[in-house]
Amino acid sequence: MYPDPRVEALIRDSFFPIRIQVLEKPELMERFNAQWTPTILLLGPDGREHHRIEGFLETGDFLAQLLLGLGHVARARGKWDEAIARYEEVLARHPDADAAPAAQYWRGVARYKKSGDPAELAATTKAFQERYADTPWAMRASVWG
Amino acid sequence: MLDWREDVDAALEEAKRTDRPALLDFTAAPL
């Protein structure tokens, strides 16, 4: 189903993979509020949803979304270093992916949550002036500067 | 090959017990 070995390796190493055939189990679409296929939900170990990927993506964008979701799962659990590392992985490996500006934003949040230092948020605003300035994420971060 | 699970509740319980995130893939393709 995922022909790229990088995708398979990331899923195998990081997730418990569950496949739902929606024609056989349509009730699960309603239970998880899935409206369409393909839809991929990334849940924390507690079963709560932290990220959603809808529609087909090319491999780089898909990998970036999976890493972004892993960052969100770690951030929700207060695992700041792990979250920061996942977001930085998106930025380093997939800087042109749609997920990259979101990763830059949430990396700033995770750094701030870890340190309590508002300078981390201001640094994120500045980072958006240098990269991803034309994205909606730059606007969201603009109030921190 | 990935070890896909199809029993959602059993898999989520195992994910909780092993402290791993879960990936739910909703597909219309035959399994």
Please name the member of B2, B6, B23 whose beta carbon is closest to the beta carbon of A42. Answer: B23
Half-sphere exposure of B9 (CA within 13 A, CB side): 3
Chain B positions touching A1 (Cβ under 8 A) are 2, 25, 27, 29
pTM confidence score: 0.96
In this predicted structure, the answer to whether residue B30 has a pLDDT above a threshold of 80 is: no
Chosen from B2, B18, B25 to mutate, greatest number of chain A CBs within 10 A: B25
pLDDT tens for each residue of A90-140: 999 999 999 999 999 999 999 999 999 999 999 999 999 999 999 999 999
Q: Find out whether A127 and A108 touch, Cβ atoms under 8 Å.
A: yes
Q: Find out whether A101 and A138 touch, Cβ atoms under 8 Å.
A: yes
Average pLDDT, chain A: 97
Please name the member of B2, B20, B25 whose beta carbon is closest to the beta carbon of A8. Answer: B2
pLDDT tens for each residue of B7-26: 999 999 999 999 999 999 99
Residues A19, B6: C-beta atoms closer than 8 Å: yes
Residues of chain A above pLDDT 90, percent: 97
> Residue A47, Cβ neighbours under 10 Å: how many?
13
Residues A2, B24: C-beta atoms closer than 8 Å: no
Please list, in sequence order, all residues whose beta carbon lies within 8 angstroms of the beta carbon of residue A132, skipping any fewer than 6 positions away.
A100, A101, A104, A138
C-alpha distance from residue A58 to each of A30, A101, A145 (Å): 27, 17, 34
Domains (range + CATH), chain A: 5-142 (1.25.40)
Q: Nearest Cα to A137, choosing from A92, A103, A101? A: A101
Residues A32, B26: C-beta atoms closer than 8 Å: yes
pLDDT, average across residues A1-24: 94
Written as one letter, the residue type at B5 is R
C-alpha distance from residue A96 to each of A53, A91, A108, A121, A132 (Å): 17, 8, 18, 22, 9
Q: Nearest Cα to A69, choosing from A91, A43, A92, A48? A: A43
